[in-house]
Amino acid sequence: MILTNSPINTDNSTTGNSTTGNSTHTVAVLAVQGAFLEHRLMLEKLGARVIELRQARDLEQSFDRLVLPGGESTVQAKLLREQNMLEPLRERIAGGMPVLGTCAGLILLAKNVEGNEVNGFGTLDVTVKRNAYGRQLGSFHCEADFGDLGKVPMTFIRAPYIAEVGSHAEVLATVDGHVVAARQGNQIGTSFHPELDDDTRIHQLFLDL
């Protein structure tokens, strides 16, 4: 792991970047709250069509992938229930629709959340600790290995980490001994925000699921 206090890289020459792609996928980004715009921009850079989910009628649109962005997980879960989107989306995830959950999105996916009742989807076999790094290390940037991708930049903002990985999930990345990314079949969850760096490989991995 390489830990820095440097600002988020915005140089398009970042190692491992992908160029604009020609994906045929339509990705729905949850847009009830949180940092959804950055995901949209990165996915469009890779050539995907992107729609935003704000209310139940948006689910009538055709899409084959789902992104759950960072933000406030309890607020997002509450709004998902109020907008009658939680159960329909849970069914799609359980049915195999690829999903990428980042930070709060990881918490929504998690089967268990330590000390909190988030009542999200509960489809990813992990236990998550919210705001795990405390205020003094609430936000930081580093590089670490991610699955078969090699080292990728990781931006953490008041991030959770994965305290326990169940038998159905696999570890994708660790930082300082803590699991910060996991996968279970069609589901990828990260503690950090890949959309805030220029490296597009994690989003491309998601599109390739």
Q: Are 178 and 195 in contact (CB under 8 A)?
A: no
For residue 117, indicate whether it is catalytic: no
Residue 35 neighbours by CB under 8 Å, 6+ apart: 69, 70, 71, 193, 195, 196
Q: Which of 103, 141, 142, 143 is catalytic?
A: 103
Q: Which of 25, 39, 141, 193 is catalytic?
A: 193
User: 158: annotated binding-site residue?
Assistant: yes
User: 107: annotated binding-site residue?
Assistant: no
Q: Are 196 and 37 in contact (CB under 8 A)?
A: no
User: 120: annotated binding-site residue?
Assistant: no
> How many whole angstroms separate alpha carbon 42 and alpha carbon 177?
29
User: 8: annotated binding-site residue?
Assistant: no
For residue 87, indicate whether it is catalytic: no
- The residue type at 65: R
> How many whole angstroms separate alpha carbon 48 and alpha carbon 26?
6
User: 81: annotated binding-site residue?
Assistant: no
Element (H, E) at 41: helix 37-45
Query: Measuring CA to CA, which residue among 174, 168, 171, 170 is closest to residue 156?
Result: 174
For residue 142, indicate whether it is catalytic: no
Residues in the annotated binding site = 71-73, 130, 157-158
Residues in the annotated binding site for L-glutamine = 71-73, 130, 157-158
Catalytic residues: 103, 193, 195
